[in-house]
Copies of this chain bind each other. A is one copy, B any other.
Amino acid sequence: MTKKKKEASDASMSKEKPLILVTNDDGVDAKGIRALADVARMFGRVIIVAPGSAQSGKSHAITFSSPIRLRKIYAEKDFEIYKANNTPVDAIKLAQCVLLKEQKIDLLVAGINHGSNSSSSIFYSGTMAAVIEGCINNTPSIGFSLCDYSANANFEAAKDVAYKIIKSALENKLPENICLNVNIPNIALSDIKGYRITRQAKNHWQEELEERIDPIGKPYYWLSGYLLDLDKGEDTDEWAIQNNYVSIQPVQPDLTAHSFIKTMKKWKFN
């Protein structure tokens, strides 16, 4: 006979402090998510629910053709860690619907990502997808990314930045339909010139698909590339981070080209 082991976060959590959900796409063991959890714990009780393995570039992917899993790996007073499979958005859905079904999440923070999520990278990022998923479900949500892809990146300045932005977002009450995409230059705190509220730069990636031949003679391709620097505006996320500012892009989960609706209504379809 099987024994039902139900995951439910209610054991070690105080009820009065804000409830903060922390996730990422680099996986639960990444240095960046531990840095962000350290910061989040200054504001409330923290639950990490993050992918068990690296899920960079998984965007808003969800898993419905195979089952998903959730496993508690650590708990102390007001701090719990769960591994979720597969994607960051799966993790958010498991956290909201399985772990916290009766509880309101006061804040969702994601990251600190190893590497920037500026410009069109926001579309590929699992970290920012988790943030957008939170926002779609009316949870105040902020994503943090440090412009350093290395596993052993130094998150000290980023932690200070994250603290200040979370504090400001809680004080100013982030509106329900807006979330934030924060990109932090990889420099010492004393070299950061300040904070810029930015728009998403209109850049895209220059792909480099390297062809190799497998042992039986068939080609395969490795996807890599670099972000082109096409948009020269000084109000962009790219400009900010290249000029030693923290970029804060307010993001809305609406892809409609509202300004084009009027023009398009004149089109004929027959």
Binding site for B on A (CB under 8 A): 2-7, 54, 56-65, 67-70, 87, 89-90, 93-94, 96-98, 120, 122-124, 129, 132-133, 136-137, 164-165, 168, 172, 175, 177-178, 181, 194-195, 197-200, 202, 204, 207-209, 211-224, 246, 248-258, 260-261, 264-265, 267-270
Contact = CB atoms under 8 A, between A and B. Distances in A.
Nearest to A63: B223
Given A223-B62, A264-B197, A269 B165 contact: yes
A94 B60 contact: no
B62 A57 contact: yes
Contacts of A214: 2
Given A61-B87, A64-B222, 14 more contacts: A57-B64, A69-B218, A69-B221, A97-B207, A122-B255, A164-B270, A177-B202, A199-B256, A199-B258, A199-B261, A202-B254, A249-B256, A250-B261, A252-B257
A256 B200 contact: yes
A227 to B, nearest CB: 11
Given A252-B257, A254-B200, A256-B249, A212 B168 contact: no
